[in-house]
C-alpha cells in the first residue's frame, strides 16, 4: 500500500535552469496538492489539481511556476528559470475523491538553487 | 484573512509526561482542522483531525480539543515517548475547501 511518491528527493539546479518535480498520488486518490516549505516555516499552499484540471492555483507565483496532472502519469510541478529564492522543500499531498479534506503527504523534494 | 498560529515554537518534556501543544486560529468559520507531525527530512504525517461540530476527538495516545469560543485548538499526547520528538503543525481547511493553511509549528523535544 504505497503512499504518496515524490521524485527526485533532492534536486540541485543552477540559477536559470528548469526544475521538474514529480508526484504520484496514493492509489485511488484523484486529488493532488502542492505545498512549499521554507526553512523553519510551515507549509504554504501552492496549487490544487484533479486529473487534467487545475482547481485552485491561488498560491502559485504568477511567473515561472506551472503545474499539471495529466490523465496518465504523475503530477508535475515545473519551475522555469530558477532563482535562489526558489530553494525550499516542495511537498505533494493527495486525497481521495470522496474526502477532500484529509490530505496525505509525500516525503517531499528538496530543491537547492546554486 | 485566514491564518493559523501556534503559541510556542518549542516544547521540551520528559519521557512519560503528557504533552500539550496549542494552536490559535483566526477564522471563526473554519470547519475542519488537522494536526500533522513532521520528522526531520520527512513529509508531514497525519495524526488526527476534528470538525467544528465536535469539541474533542481521541486517537491512540492523542487527543485533539477544539474551543470555538476562543478559536483555540490543542493536541494532547499521553505518555510522550522519544519517538514523538518532531515538529507538530496544526492546519485548517480554507473556506473554499481547496487548501490547508498551516501554522508555523511547535518543535517537541522528548528527553529520556
Average the pLDDT over B15-32 and give the result.
91
User: Cβ–Cβ of A56/B43 closer than 8 Å?
Assistant: no
User: Cβ–Cβ of B98/A106 closer than 8 Å?
Assistant: no
In angstroms, the Cα distances linking A103 to A15, A26, A79, B36, B90 are: 32, 10, 23, 10, 13
- How many other C-beta atoms can be found within 10 angstroms of the C-beta atom of residue B99? 27
Output the pLDDT for position B96. 85
Predicted confidence (pLDDT) per residue in A62-99, tens digit: 999 999 999 999 999 999 999 999 999 999 999 987 66
Name beta bridge partners: B21: B75
User: Cβ–Cβ of B45/A105 closer than 8 Å?
Assistant: yes
B43 CB within 8 Å of a chain A CB: yes
Residue B1, pLDDT > 80, answer no
Predicted confidence (pLDDT) per residue in B67-84, tens digit: 999 999 999 999 999 999
B94 CB within 8 Å of a chain A CB: yes
Collect all residues from A whose CB is shorter than 8 A from any CB in B: 4, 6, 33, 35, 40-45, 48, 55-56, 58-59, 91, 93, 100-108
Four-CA torsion B54, B21, A107, B98, nearest 10 degrees: 40
Range with the poorest average pLDDT among A25-34, A79-88, B10-19, B24-33: B24-33
What rounded mean pLDDT belongs to chain B?
A: 91
B99: closest chain A residue by CA = A45
Amino acid at each position: 500500500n504505497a503512499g504518496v511518491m515524490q521524485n527526485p528527493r533532492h534536486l540541485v539546479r543552477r540559477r536559470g535552469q528548469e526544475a521538474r518535480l514529480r508526484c504520484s498520488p496514493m492509489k485511488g486518490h484523484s486529488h493532488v496538492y502542492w505545498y512549499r516549505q521554507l526553512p523553519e516555516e510551515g507549509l504554504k499552499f501552492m496549487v490544487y489539481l484533479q486529473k487534467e484540471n487545475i482547481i485552485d492555483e491561488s498560491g502559485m507565483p504568477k511567473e515561472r511556476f506551472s503545474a499539471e496532472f495529466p490523465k496518465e502519469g504523475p503530477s508535475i510541478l515545473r519551475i522555469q528559470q530558477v532563482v535562489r529564492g526558489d530553494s525550499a522543500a516542495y511537498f505533494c499531498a493527495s486525497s481521495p475523491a470522496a474526502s477532500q479534506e484529509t490530505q496525505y503527504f509525500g516525503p517531499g523534494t528538496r530543491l537547492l538553487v546554486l | 484573512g485566514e491564518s493559523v498560529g501556534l503559541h510556542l515554537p518549542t516544547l521540551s518534556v520528559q519521557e512519560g509526561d503528557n504533552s500539550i501543544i496549542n494552536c490559535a486560529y483566526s477564522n471563526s468559520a473554519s470547519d475542519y482542522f488537522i494536526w500533522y507531525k513532521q520528522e526531520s527530512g520527512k513529509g508531514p504525517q497525519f495524526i488526527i483531525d476534528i470538525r467544528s461540530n465536535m469539541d474533542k476527538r481521541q486517537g491512540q495516545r492523542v487527543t485533539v480539543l477544539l474551543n470555538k469560543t476562543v478559536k483555540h485548538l490543542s493536541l494532547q499526547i499521553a505518555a510522550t515517548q522519544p519517538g514523538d520528538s518532531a515538529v507538530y503543525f496544526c492546519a485548517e481547511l480554507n473556506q473554499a475547501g481547496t487548501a490547508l493553511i498551516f501554522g508555523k509549528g511547535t518543535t517537541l523535544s522528548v528527553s529520556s
